[in-house]
Chains A and B, each alone.
Chain A
Amino acid sequence: MNTLIELNGVKKIYPIGKVEVHALRGVNLSIRTKEYISIMGPSGSGKSTLMNIIGCLDTPSAGSYLLEGTPVHEMVDNDLAEIRNRKIGFVFQTFNLLPRATALHNVELPLIYSGIAASKRRELAEGALERVGLSDRKLHKPNELSGGQRQRVAIARALVNKPSLILADEPTGNLDSKTGQEIMKILDDLNRAGNTIILVTHEKVIAEHANRVVHLLDGNIAEDRKQESA
């Protein structure tokens, strides 16, 4: 298996007024393709910051980040946008769908930004919705869908551009436990189908789905263990 992500001595420092907050204090982490890994830690441990950096929404203050061998830490805003578009699929706790657009249009969004023509876009988006079992809901708007259905639209959106990595940030945080399990099952299936998934969560039950768990504490990796997936 190839190395997908290579973090070396990654630090993130936020200046808040005159005080400097050290969110990450030199993280080394290597993730291979097709891995299913969860990042855990209490609030303030730096897991959100780490997720933002891995998701190319933010850049480290120091250290290096290679994504498929590309030095992402040196990139500027526009290049990062392109990396996000092509290599990363996001699944958020609050779904983050465009409220006034249909499920289909929401799934098409990453394809729009990679300049794919309308007919091809529709075909790909419909395929992705079918994979999450929402073919019959494609013209519904988010407020006409249940929480679980919304999260499935978000997952379809995350995988539609065939990214190298699916980044799920507390994907079950806004769902009841039964719906949460359904969502986790979809993610498990996606990993079995060959997708690399990074799961950010503070729930142990959710983290158990992954076959590797990384614990963060005060901006450092406190534990990194492999496990049999649930």
Chain B
Amino acid sequence: MKTLLVSLRENFMVALRALIQNKMRSVLTTLGIIIGVLTVVSVASIISGLNKGFSDQISALGSSTLYVSKYPWVFDDDWFKYRNRPDITLREAEYIAEHMQLAEAVSPAASSRQNIKYRGNSLTGIGVAGITMESNQIENFSVGQGRYFTALEIEKSKNHVVIGYEVMEKLFGGRNPLGERIRIGPVAYTVIGVMEKRGSIMGNSLDSEVYVPIGSIFRNYGFHRSVRILVKVSDPERMAEAKDELHYLMRISRGLKPQDEDDFSINQQEVLTDLYNKLTSGLYTAAFGIGTLSLIVGGIGIMNIMLVSVAERKREIGIRKAMGAKRSTITLQFIIEAIFICTIGGVLAILLGFGMSMLIDKVTPFPSSVPAWSVLMGLGFSTFIGLFFGIYPARRAAKLDPIECLHYE
């Protein structure tokens, strides 16, 4: 055991020396390993960045909220099929609110897109969300400056507005927006509050929206529009049951006969998560395929170089054997050398991966971070490749005849 420890240290130093003496060769040899590990690490970091972004975004939807709308969120058949469905109405929202047992809160939601003006500044195509008192219960708005609507303001459909954080920044700069009047489309609204930063969902910034009483949307921008119904389920454990109840109530309120197809869609966060997972798992598979392939190619390169190294260092092997190195010692020496080269390749790749991830994070709109498991896996893989492809050359070295080696020129 003691002999092993002493020779481990010695082997490590020998490997280090051999590596430094052949810098160029070592770098070229590890290229395959570097590419393999880099592929895995960078794809993992991109995906984990996307995952984080995605779950941040999707959490705004709320995992215990059901959304009744005209269109399903994800579909792969004909869009026209859904276009001819009747709009979802306020009356249906009221019906659900009145009858649904498993709901904690039910709210209709409507939206419009308008240009907004304040003095000289204007913003185009801003989402105007029509909300209710219950919306606040479902979406947990938090108002940073000013206040949320009162029940009376909503009931009377006052032309009052709570603006998103980004809208406030762009429209008012540093000025206090509270009490100011802005034009949303053709209509003047009074600013009563500013939302705290909310982030974005599916590429739409929630901070560049404005919020008005739902009634004012209909009055100011037209009555013929489809609403969505948001249902917050009281018990997240009973999502499936709640979905069934909602489905049943919608069919009743629309007077559908048993043989009729649904003419509405019930959506939930899960639908998006499923779709997302399907997309990213494909990416993962591809990355691992490429990664594994280049690791194998890299491993064969390592084996090749180790065989050359064994041939070049026959005399050294002879000397070591004459001085009492056992087969196992020589085997260990060359395996450690192979592992060492591979691990250095792995470490280089991980450092490159970190750099790449930082670059992606800065330059592209995708968030990116290197997950710890990919670092461990990269190191593990490269070490394993060194071990696996180092065994054969090392055993060859160990079996060499010391007499022949000592006379090798």
Binding site for B on A (CB under 8 A): 52, 55, 57-58, 77-78, 81-82, 84-86, 90, 92, 96-98, 100, 109-110, 112-118, 157
Contact = CB atoms under 8 A, between A and B. Distances in A.
B316 interface: yes
A84 B324 contact: yes
A85 to B, nearest CB: 2
Given A84-B322, A85-B323, A96-B319, A115 B2 contact: yes
Contacts of A78: 326-328
B318 A113 contact: no
Interface string B319-350: 11111111111000000000000000000000
B385 to A, nearest CB: 27
A81 B324 contact: yes
A94 B135 CA distance: 91
Interface stretch (B3-11, B151-159, B374-382): B3-11
Contacts, number: 70
Interface residues of B, number: 27
A52 B50 CA distance: 67
Ranked 10 nearest A-B pairs via Cβ: A85-B324, A115-B3, A113-B324, A81-B326, A110-B323, A115-B2, A78-B326, A109-B323, A115-B6, A112-B10
B6 A117 contact: yes
Interface of B: 2-7, 9-10, 17, 21, 315-316, 318-329, 402-403, 406
Given A57-B321, A96-B315, 6 more contacts: A78-B326, A78-B327, A84-B323, A85-B324, A96-B319, A100-B21
A90 B405 CA distance: 15
A212 B329 CA distance: 38
A98 B319 contact: yes
A97 to B, nearest CB: 8
28 contacts: A52-B403, A57-B322, A81-B324, A81-B326, A82-B324, A82-B326, A84-B321, A84-B323, A85-B324, A90-B322, A90-B323, A96-B315, A96-B318, A96-B322, A96-B406, A109-B319, A109-B323, A110-B323, A112-B7, A113-B320, A113-B326, A113-B329, A114-B3, A114-B324, A115-B6, A117-B2, A117-B6, A157-B323
A57 B10 CA distance: 23
Nearest to B17: A100
Contacts of A98: 316, 319
Contacts of A58: 403
A100 B321 CA distance: 17
A169 to B, nearest CB: 9
A96 B322 CA distance: 10
B325 A116 contact: no
Contacts of A84: 321-324
B398 to A, nearest CB: 9
B321 A81 contact: yes
Nearest to A106: B319
A84 B17 CA distance: 26
A117 B7 CA distance: 10
A118 B320 CA distance: 18
Contacts of B320: 109, 113
A128 to B, nearest CB: 13
Contacts of B326: 77-78, 81-82, 113
A113 B327 contact: no
A220 B375 CA distance: 66
Contacts of B21: 100
A57 B402 contact: yes
A116 B9 CA distance: 12
Contacts of B328: 78
Contacts of B6: 112, 115-118
Contacts of B406: 57, 92, 96
B325 A81 contact: yes
Contacts of A92: 406
Contacts of B9: 118
A113 B7 contact: yes
Contact of B324 (A86, A117, A118): A86
Contacts of A114: 3, 324
Contacts of B327: 77-78, 81
